[in-house]
């Protein structure tokens, strides 16, 4: 704000002198934009892009993904655990199956010849739930899944979920908190305060509609899911997320994320613990 005021004062002063000057205002240098997560089950995945001028448009991820980056994973003892490999343009993953210790913290170091080296915050992998109970019912062509969870630690506060319905896999975006387009797909149709309805715009796959109701009771959650499709089998992917804040957490602007915990870049690095529950219908 102060810088803007100073610049405005200079412009007014120059105009008052009756002379016109060209002011060369440097633009911000491009930075890496990082969307990354670490999982005890699936290792590390990184989606790497860059900041671009407002209004820049791309056809798909492959046209703006950043290739040829060097991405290293370190544990809390600053020992290199893995060097990620690039599977597709801008998409990186663990070079081989790695064993992650849930008592350790991890961070990423991302370097590229054309960008400043970006470093993520340290994140801890969430502890598993103590207990998971699930039942289901079918009503009017809708699968109703009742899921009860008991947390193993009280600071668990963020969850995402998805479904794979038989032979027609349902590719899902992170829901509800990490979906960048959540305002476009979430609607409320009921009087219950914590009952949300997610329509097909929330998903990549073909979904009629998705509803979720959460009732928190101390250190446990009771969650009721409604899926508007019938299939011989439904797999529930339930993820506990640890997206740790840090002293350099910031609000950023990118096509992918809205909050960041990256130094010398924009983006997010978070840890998840994933569960897969099979339901035979």
What are the structural domain ranges in the chain? 32-122+244-274, 131-238
Q: What pLDDT, in 10s, does the model give residues 145-157?
A: 666 666 655 444 4
Q: What pLDDT, in 10s, does the model give residues 27-84?
A: 567 888 888 888 877 789 888 888 766 556 655 556 678 899 999 999 999 999 999 9
Residue environment code for 197-223, b if the CB has 16+ CB neighbours within 10 A, otherwise e? bbbeebbeeebebbbbbbeeeeeebeb
Can you state the percent helix, strand and coil of the chain, rounding each to 5? Answer: 10, 45, 45
pLDDT-derived band at 24, boundaries 50, 70, 90: very low
Q: What pLDDT, in 10s, does the model give residues 190-218?
A: 323 334 454 545 444 444 444 555 556 56
User: Do 35 and 46 contact (CB within 8 A), yes or no?
Assistant: yes
**pLDDT averaged over the chain?**
63
Instruction: Please name the residues in contact with 108: beta carbons below 8 A apart, sequence gap of 6 or more.
Output: 34, 36, 44, 46, 71, 72, 73, 74, 119, 120, 269
Percentage of the chain modeled with pLDDT above 90? 14
pLDDT for 194: 39
pLDDT at 180 over 70: no
Q: Does domain 32-122+244-274 have CATH number 3.40.50?
A: no
More confident residue, 214 or 171: 214
Of 69-78, 88-97, 115-124, the range with the highest mean pLDDT is 69-78
DSSP string, 103-168: TSEEEEEEEETTEEEEEEPPEEPPPPPSEEEEEEEE-SS-EEEEEEEE-SSTT--EEEEEEEETTB
pLDDT at 263 over 70: yes
pLDDT for 138: 60
């Amino acid at each position: 704000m102060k810088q803007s005021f100073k610049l405005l004062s200079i412009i007014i002063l120059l105009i008052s002198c009756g002379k016109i000057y060209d002011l060369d205002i440097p633009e911000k240098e491009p930075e890496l934009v990082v969307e990354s997560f670490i999982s005890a089950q699936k290792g590390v995945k990184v989606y790497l892009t860059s900041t671009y001028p407002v209004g820049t448009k791309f056809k798909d991820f492959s046209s703006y993904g950043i290739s040829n980056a060097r991405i290293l994973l370190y544990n809390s003892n600053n020992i290199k655990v893995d060097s990620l490999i690039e599977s597709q343009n801008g998409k990186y993953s663990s070079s081989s199956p790695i064993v992650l210790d849930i008592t350790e913290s991890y961070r990423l170091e991302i370097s590229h010849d054309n960008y400043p080296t970006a470093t993520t915050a340290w994140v801890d992998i969430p502890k598993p739930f103590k207990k998971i109970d699930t039942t289901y019912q079918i009503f009017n062509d809708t699968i109703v899944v009742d899921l009860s969870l008991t947390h193993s630690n009280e600071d668990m506060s963020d969850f995402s979920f998805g479904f794979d319905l038989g032979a027609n896999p349902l590719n899902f975006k992170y829901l509800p908190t990490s979906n960048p387009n959540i305002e476009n797909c979430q609607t409320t149709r009921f009087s219950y305060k914590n009952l949300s309805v997610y329509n097909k715009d929330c998903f990549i796959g073909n979904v009629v509609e998705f509803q979720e109701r959460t009732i928190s009771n101390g250190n446990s959650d009771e969650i009721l899911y409604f899926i508007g499709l019938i299939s011989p089998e439904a797999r529930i992917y339930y993820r506990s997320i640890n997206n740790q804040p840090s002293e350099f957490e910031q609000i950023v602007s990118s096509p992918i994320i809205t909050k960041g915990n990256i130094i010398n870049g924009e983006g997010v690095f978070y840890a998840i613990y994933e569960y897969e529950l099979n339901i035979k219908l």
